[in-house]
Copies of this chain bind each other. A is one copy, B any other.
Amino acid sequence: MTQTDTPMNEEGVPEDFSPATWRGGFGNQVGPIYQRFSDDGTWARGFLVGERHTNGFQNCHGGMLMAFADMAFGSVVTYEKHRFWVTVRLVTDFVSSAALGEFVQGNASVTGEDGDFITVRGHIWTGGNDPAGPDGRTLMTGTGLFKMLGERPGESPLLAARG
């Protein structure tokens, strides 16, 4: 059980993002992973592509994008439902690559729910908060099926940000 030791953003991370904290070592190993909860009600997770994320082409490794997809797509359960979850199935389509130094964002929306099972549609992009903006470039699209577990303690940071 470790948490991020440095609450500072790396250089190149947008100001509206802050580091997410993690139970378990993997989030820190591939992180820092950041999150934002914006005034318009949207949210995203993000990371800055560093040397430690690269493949042999000096782009972000596809494995890192997949690991991030799991975190970013599943976050909709964390934030919107305020529950723990496990991944059942992920489908990830690689559209474009992210270069070293680019800041990558990802989020998801709920598409269906049945008991403890929840399906989501996810999106990973770079070039600002609006993936449809002039600099936006989609890196990955996909879907996820998650099984929801028990309630999280405290209040969802997204619900708190929305007031």
Residues of A within 8 A of B (CB): 1-2, 22-30, 50-58, 60-64, 66-71, 74, 84, 86-94, 97
Judging by beta carbons under 8 Å apart, are B26 and A54 in contact? yes
Judging by beta carbons under 8 Å apart, are B26 and A63 in contact? yes
Instruction: Select A63's contact among B68, B84, B91, beta carbons within 8 Å.
Output: B68
Cβ–Cβ < 8 Å partners of A97 in chain B: 86
Distance (Å) between the CB of A146 and the closest chain B CB? 9
Judging by beta carbons under 8 Å apart, are A86 and B71 in contact? no
Cβ–Cβ < 8 Å partners of A30 in chain B: 29-30, 63, 67
Known: A1-B56, A30-B67. 14 other contacts (CB 8 A): A24-B56, A24-B58, A25-B54, A26-B60, A28-B52, A29-B29, A29-B53, A30-B63, A61-B67, A63-B67, A63-B70, A66-B66, A87-B94, A90-B92
Judging by beta carbons under 8 Å apart, are A50 and B25 in contact? yes
Would you list 5 pairs from A and B whose C-beta atoms are within 8 A, ordered by A residue? A27-B61, A61-B70, A66-B69, A66-B92, A90-B91
Judging by beta carbons under 8 Å apart, are B24 and A57 in contact? yes
Distance (Å) between the CB of A20 and the closest chain B CB? 13
